[in-house]
Amino acid sequence: MDDAGVFRLDEETALIQTVDFFTPVVDDPSTFGAISAANSLSDVYAMGGRPITALGIACVPDDFDMDVLGLILRGGQEKAHEAGVPVVGGHTVKAPELKFGLAVTGIAHPDRLVTNAGAQSGDRLYLTKPLGTGVISTAVKSEKCPPEVLDEAIEVMLTLNAAAAEAMLEAGAVACTDVTGFGLGGHGHQLALSSGVALEINLAALPVLTGAVDMIGEGLIPGGLATNRKFLESWVSGTSPTGGQIELLYDTQTSGGLLISIPESGAAALEKALMERGVPVHQIGRVVEGRPGSITIY
């Protein structure tokens, strides 16, 4: 259940390959293209790899404005270039609903891959981006999102996970996944299940985008959040506080941060490496023995 596929070329090089695309989460075409590209690149970073090439993939409705499509593609290309990744081609198809993303190829040394199956009891858990993009995107569609709240969310979604990946490699992280459509709970569950461990997550320690909790209180709940919560009901236990915090565990994220598992002995080094690169430091819980895949909240 890793974030990307890996193919070993030789003793020194492994290919990391992934593809992701989705419908617009913001109105501005270039920004949508850039966010989608950042999201697509993230799977390579989550495995400790360096993305080297990308292909664009787009689904385009009949009679769609080609100038707008051009802006989407340009936004994606500019974000990929920020990551040092040339977009070397791509493919478009006609479809009822607009979608855009990238198929990304990366490389890594086979011995330095970071999978989601290496977490061990006693590890500390860190999250590198705040939660709430799914709730805020729903508020945007309902025209109930203040501009300053959206601006903060866009800045977070546009941020590459490259620096966070460099930090985790430097510090010796043992497991990682990026947090996207399955939410923190879903991706945390996959990491725990693959590793044969359980997680404890401190809801009060979760980083949250401005306005997200208030929007949950107003009933702006994404369909994906409800789906994630239903799937994870049998895996999550513990005290459920009021005020919207629990929903953030299930909120569908777009271009979310890295969930990093690292031994306690390496936690200080990770925090130092993250701070040196300007990446927010949020320790949100720990890895423990228990039913593999289960999450206890407190």
Q: What percent of the chain has pLDDT over 70?
A: 99
- Return the pLDDT at 1: 84
Rounded-to-integer distance, Cα 87 and Cα 139, Å: 32
* pLDDT over 70 at 295, yes or no: yes
Other C-beta atoms lying within 10 Å of the C-beta of residue 240: 11
What interhelical angle do 223-232 and 133-141 show, nearest 10?
140
* pLDDT over 80 at 244, yes or no: no
What is the pLDDT averaged over residues 232-261?
Answer: 90
* pLDDT over 70 at 243, yes or no: no
What is the pLDDT averaged over residues 275-279?
Answer: 98
End-to-end CA distance of the chain: 26
Contact, 34 vs 79, CB < 8 A? yes
| 102 DSSP β-pair partners | 20, 56
Going by DSSP bridges, is the β-strand pair 236-238/295-297 parallel, antiparallel, or unpaired? Answer: parallel
Q: What percent of the chain has pLDDT over 90?
A: 96
Cα-trace Rg, the chain: 18
- Return the pLDDT at 224: 96
Domains plus CATH for the chain? 5-112 (3.30.1330.10), 124-297 (3.90.650.10)
What is the pLDDT averaged over residues 183-195?
Answer: 98
Phi, psi (5° rounding) for residue 134? Answer: -65, -45
Spell out the alpha helix ranges (H) of 57-146.
Answer: 66-82, 133-141
- Return the pLDDT at 174: 98
Q: What's the pLDDT tens digit per position in 138-184?
A: 999 999 999 999 999 999 999 999 999 999 999 999 999 999 999 99
- Return the pLDDT at 89: 97
- Return the pLDDT at 241: 62
Rounded-to-integer distance, Cα 68 and Cα 71, Å: 5
Count Cβ neighbours within 10 Å for each residue of 245-274 and write b for 16 or more, e otherwise: bbbbbbbbbbbbbbbbbbbeebbeebbebb
Q: For residue 37, how many C-alpha atoms fall within 13 Å in the half-sphere facing its CB?
A: 29
- Return the pLDDT at 242: 61
Q: How remote is the C-alpha of 159 from its chain's centroid?
A: 11
Mean pLDDT, the chain, integer: 96
Helix (H) or strand (E) holding 173: none
Specify the higher pLDDT residue, 244 or 212.
212
Q: Is 193 helix (H, G, I), strand (E, B) or coil?
A: helix
Q: What's the pLDDT tens digit per position in 101-146?
A: 999 999 999 999 999 999 999 999 999 999 999 999 999 999 999 9
* pLDDT over 90 at 240, yes or no: no
